[in-house]
Amino acid sequence: MESYTKQKKGFTLIELLVVISIIALLLAILMPALGKAKGIAKRVVCQSNLKQQATAFNFYRNDNDDYFPSKPNFVLTYFNWGGTIGSQTGVAGVNRKLLNPYVGAGDEVTLGRVEGGLQIFHCPSDKGMYDGAWATSWGGPDRLPTVWEALGTSYYYNCTAIANNGALGVWNKKVSDTKNPYKLILVGDMTVGTYGFGADPFQYGYWHNKHELGWANTMFVDYHSEYIQVHLDDPDNATYNFQTGQNWTFLFK
């Protein structure tokens, strides 16, 4: 009987190219959706961070006669909301953060030190902020590689109406004096300060939206959070308009 070896049939080059083409097509279809889902997931984590900060804020106000977190002056207050110390902090007296004792961290931090719950001050979408008027008018540097690393927090506490004006922000005021707590921003991503000081813009940052400035996760004084877009001058959206200033000023008794 004649013996023979049975040959196994493999893929032809054409078949391999077809399979590779199909895989490439599927990846091209799926990648944008996966990227969008990843971005949404980061935004959810960021909103969770803000909710935890709001909880710490509530403990703070209960221990401090209903006052918003405040230091002796509004500049120190801005740098001392919570978090660690960044490489660009550059202000004396910023090693004792106001909310840190309420998130399981010591009341004193040093450069780069992260412990307890300090990660709630780090937004996972933080890609740093690039200079606008911050550089041209004040000579400030880019906040890189992330705002977290530069300033020790990814978030902007509304202590000065985002204009270095202690009289207009929540600095040294009581929560019970807020007229419309559901309208008044307590804290938000650093991108909430895109048009700070009425500049166009004060700083650039595309954290949650790659194509439009001003998008930010925010926490309001009544403890609800929103994903909003702030504007410099938009009569149709005055709530977050830096020219009218409704969200930042005249909301106190």
Question: Tens of pLDDT along 205-229?
Answer: 999 998 899 899 999 999 999 998 8
Cα separations in angstroms, 189 against 17, 83, 136, 252: 46, 13, 23, 23
- Whether residue 52 lies inside any domain: the answer is yes
Query: What value does the mean pLDDT take over residues 33-37?
Result: 58
Residue that wins the pLDDT comparison between 88 and 108: 88
Nearest to 185 by CA among 246, 235, 244: 246
Considering the entire predicted model, what is its pTM? 0.80
- Whether residue 172 lies inside any domain: the answer is yes
Q: Reply yes or no on whether the pLDDT at 107 is more than 70.
A: no
Q: State residue 4's pLDDT score.
A: 52
- Whether residue 138 lies inside any domain: the answer is yes
- Whether residue 2 lies inside any domain: the answer is no
| Alpha-carbon 187 to chain mean position | 9
Q: State residue 122's pLDDT score.
A: 95
> Which domain range does residue 70 map to?
18-240
pLDDT tens-place string over residues 128-147: 999 888 887 777 889 999 99
Contact by Cβ (8 Å): 164, 200: no
Q: State residue 168's pLDDT score.
A: 76
Q: State residue 243's pLDDT score.
A: 45
Average pLDDT across the chain, whole number: 81
Q: State residue 252's pLDDT score.
A: 41
Q: Reply yes or no on whether the pLDDT at 249 is more than 50.
A: no
pLDDT tens-place string over residues 38-61: 767 788 889 999 999 999 999 999
Contact by Cβ (8 Å): 49, 120: yes
- Whether residue 234 lies inside any domain: the answer is yes
Nearest to 109 by CA among 126, 90, 93, 123: 93
Q: State residue 238's pLDDT score.
A: 44
- DSSP for the chain, please give it: ----PPPPP---HHHHHHHHHHHHHHHHHHHHHHHHHHHHHHHHHHHHHHHHHHHHHHHHHHHTTTBPS--SSHHHHHHTSSS-B-TT---TT-SS-SSGGGGTS-S---BT---TTGGGG--TT---BEESHHHHTT-PPPB-S-HHHHHS-SEEE-SSTTTT-TTTSSTT-BGGGBS-TTTSEEEEEGGGGTTGGG-TTSEE--SS-SS-TTEEEEEETTS-EEEEE-BSS-GGGGGGBTTT-TTTSS-B-
What pLDDT band is residue 178 in, cutting at 50, 70 and 90? Answer: confident
Q: Reply yes or no on whether the pLDDT at 8 is more than 60.
A: no
List the end-to-end C-alpha distance of the chain, in Å, as a whole number: 106
Greatest mean pLDDT range, 108-122, 156-170, 174-188: 174-188
CA 219, CA 186: separation in Å to the nearest integer? 6
Give the CA angle between residues 219, 150, 92 to the nearest 5°.
95
Q: State residue 199's pLDDT score.
A: 83
- Whether residue 250 lies inside any domain: the answer is no
- Whether residue 248 lies inside any domain: the answer is no
Q: State residue 10's pLDDT score.
A: 62
Q: State residue 67's pLDDT score.
A: 96
Q: Kindly compute the dihedral angle of the four CA atoms of residues 123, 34, 225, 64, in this order, to the nearest 10 degrees.
A: -30
- Whether residue 159 lies inside any domain: the answer is yes
Contact by Cβ (8 Å): 137, 199: yes
Residue that wins the pLDDT comparison between 28 and 196: 196
What pLDDT band is residue 98 in, cutting at 50, 70 and 90? Answer: very high
Q: How many domains does the chain have?
A: 1
**Tokens representing 36?**
């969008």
